[in-house]
């Protein structure tokens, strides 16, 4: 049985002479769309009186709100939770108090005892997931499904300026679901994924090569999907704690390799870029070339780290 794939992250400076992108290849327009606090936002559609409050999703049947004779509701509070469960998600107000997904509920109760506790409803989340994805597919079928609340979209051949197209997609998602999403349009999937987090919630972000030095390089290295706590700790141990430091270290190493190849008249094969769409995904096609950043599968054995 094949083990999980390891990924080597390669980030290139926009002025790097060895950055592997072909000038004859049109710049790709890849969007990453991420629904904002998805599960919690779906619950707020059902319980609009909770908007603006710290709400935690992850309770069981005991957390089902009680409807009182006057029509109002009585909600469970996080301080009353007893058990070993974990937080499924939380509203941004709860996150401001330090409560995040995958945190133990008892720990969360110490941080935000007065937060409202609601049970999960995965049937509802799947239904809204289908609604927002159907809305996006009215623009293009070049979509890669990456989970219940996020997708990649190839906008390269969609008419219109990136900002205008992204705004129309956001409006279509809102009309179909009543929910907000954050979207980033960038040259590839890696940058689009990072960028969709920059202006949350309800964000619309455009990343071009000129934006990378001041918007991407200062970010923590762990912002790259696949660099987990252990990998981040190892990177920090050798003085690499930002994406800029990671890019510079990689540029120096691969630049040296490229110089050696040139001296011997050799050309190293270029690995597949992270922004290539999964050929196995329905309704998508592979991308072309690499630009400014990529994630390259390097082995099939051992364990891998991930983060969501």
Name the residues annotated as catalytic: 150
Q: Are 201 and 52 in contact (CB under 8 A)?
A: no
The rounded distance, in Å, linking the Cα atoms of 207 and 196 is 10
Radius of gyration of the chain (CA): 22
């Amino acid at each position: 049985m094949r083990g999980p794939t390891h990924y080597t992250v390669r980030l290139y400076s926009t002025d790097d002479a060895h950055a592997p992108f072909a000038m004859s290849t049109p710049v790709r327009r890849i969007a990453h769309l991420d629904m904002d606090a998805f599960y919690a936002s779906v619950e707020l559609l059902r319980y609009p009186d909770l908007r603006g409050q710290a709400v935690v999703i992850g309770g069981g049947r005991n957390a089902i709100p009680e409807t009182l004779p006057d029509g109002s509701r009585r909600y469970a509070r996080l301080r009353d939770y007893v058990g070993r469960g974990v937080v499924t998600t939380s509203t941004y107000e709860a996150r401001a108090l330090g409560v995040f997904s995958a945190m133990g509920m008892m720990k969360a109760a110490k941080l935000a005892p007065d937060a409202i506790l609601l049970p999960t409803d995965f049937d509802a989340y799947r239904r809204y997931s289908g609604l927002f994805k159907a809305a996006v597919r009215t623009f293009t079928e070049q979509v890669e499904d990456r989970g219940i609340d996020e997708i990649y979209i190839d906008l390269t051949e969609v008419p219109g300026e990136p900002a205008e197209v992204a705004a129309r997609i956001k409006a279509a998602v809102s009309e179909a679901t009543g929910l907000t999403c954050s979207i980033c349009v960038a040259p590839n999937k890696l940058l689009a994924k990072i960028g969709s987090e920059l202006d949350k919630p309800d964000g619309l972000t455009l990343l071009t090569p000129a934006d990378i030095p001041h918007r991407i390089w200062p970010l923590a290295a762990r912002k790259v999907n696949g660099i987990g706590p252990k990998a981040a700790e190892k990177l920090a141990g050798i003085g690499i704690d930002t994406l800029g430091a990671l890019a510079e270290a990689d540029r120096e190493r691969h630049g040296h390799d490229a110089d050696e190849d040139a001296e011997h008249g050799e050309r190293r094969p270029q690995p597949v870029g992270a922004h290539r769409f999964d050929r196995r995904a329905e309704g998508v096609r592979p991308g072309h070339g690499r630009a400014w950043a990529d994630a390259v599968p390097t082995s099939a054995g051992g364990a891998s780290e991930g983060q969501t």
